[in-house]
Amino acid sequence: MKPATRELVRRLDGLMPETALILGSGLGSLVEAVAMPIRIPYRDLPGFPEGGVSGHAGEVVAGEIAGIPVLILSGRVHYYEKGDPAAMRTPLEVVHALGITSVILTNAAGSLHEEIAPGSVMMISDHINFSGTNPLIGEPSDDRFVGMTSAYDHDLRTRFRAIAKAQNIGLKEGVYMWFSGPSFETPAEIRAARMLGADAVGMSTVPEVILSRFLGLRCAAFSVITNYGAGMSGGELSHAETKEMAPKGGEMLGRLIAAFFEEQAAKV
Ligand code: HPA
């Protein structure tokens, strides 16, 4: 057992979550939905990354939402921080070792469509890896040849669609394209992304989804739209705008995820 797994098992004190959340930029407020939270800084967990992006906390928060045990990775590291696409491998391996079977990932993203306005939430139906790298490069086992046909779990998406409808949440759905960052895209890259079939662009999530599928974890992922893609609305893009806008859609996403756990609680 990895030391981080042992430490988490000890600190969770019998709590056995089946679902993990991985929260992106400015979306840390979902943590507030957790009752009686147990908070463990990443620095107490060997192999967990020290995140360096403002707006990312870097802690595990475990507890219950609507009485359902949950484990939150609040803060992720990105490929662009140190050039390591597998930076989240240890946390995901630990999540898997804890017996967790599903991962819900969130990020902030730029929209490529007028009708997916800043402040909206897009459920990711599929992705395009436009980074040129992959977190499984160097993995020696044949398990590295991971099928990605059903990367975004069909059943989870069906459930989230139904919950959004019942909650009157206008949930969008589309394809997320992963750019390495940290510079934002150019207007030409945004036009190319649209032509290639993307609906939103961002700098995260795809490596974690690849690693999650490698480990056999089921994935659902959501983009909070913070802006239109470069060149679509005139002004320059900035991380300040991402941080300012993320909590707006984040509130809606928080309601959706809370309703997901409430539905689960009603079933058991
Ligand atoms: N591009 C890439 N990443 C992002 C964006 C964007 O426009 N907005 C928020 N994260």
pLDDT digits 0-9 by tens, 137-156: 999 999 999 999 999 999 99
Ligand 1 centroid from CA 20, angstroms: 24
At 83, which amino acid appears?
G
Ligand 1 centroid from CA 91, angstroms: 24
CATH label of the domain that carries residue 62: 3.40.50.1580
Pocket test for ligand 1, best of 201, 204, 223, 228 (most atoms within 8 A of CB): 201
pLDDT at 232: 95
pLDDT at 58: 87
Residues of the chain with pLDDT under 50: none
Segments forming the whole domain that contains residue 180? 3-267
pLDDT at 265: 93
User: Tokens 């993990």 appear where?
Assistant: 20
pTM, two decimals, is 0.95
Ligand 1 centroid from CA 205, angstroms: 12
Ligand 1 centroid from CA 110, angstroms: 4
The verdict on the CB of residue 80 being under 6 Å from ligand 1 is no
Total domains in the chain come to 1
pLDDT at 168: 95
Pocket test for ligand 1, best of 191, 224, 242, 243 (most atoms within 8 A of CB): 242
Cβ neighbours for 230, distance < 8 A, ≥ 6 positions apart: 110, 184, 185, 186, 187, 189, 190, 237
